[in-house]
Structure 1
Amino acid sequence: MRLSVEPTTSPADYEFTHQIRVRFVETDAMGIVHHSNYLAYFEEARVAFLAHVGHPFTEWRDAGLESPVLESFVTYRQPLHFDDVITVHLSLATVTRATFQMAYLVTVGSDDERLAHATGVTVHGCTTNGGRPTRLPAWLAEMGTR
Structure 2
Amino acid sequence: MVNNNLLRLLPSGTCVLENGNNGRILIGNGPVYCLRTAQSQLTLDNLRVLNVNALQHKELSFLPELSDEELLDFILALNPTDHVGSERCSTSINRVVDCDGYAMKWNRKLRQRWEHGAKIYVKFGYMENISKCLIISIHPSKLP
TM-score range, shorter chain: under 0.3
Please identify the structure whose Cα radius of gyration is greater: 1
Q: Normalising to structure 2: TM-score of the pair?
A: 0.27
Whose relative contact order is higher, 1 or 2, with alpha carbons under 8 Å and at least 6 apart? 1
Q: Normalising to structure 1: TM-score of the pair?
A: 0.27
Higher strand share: 1
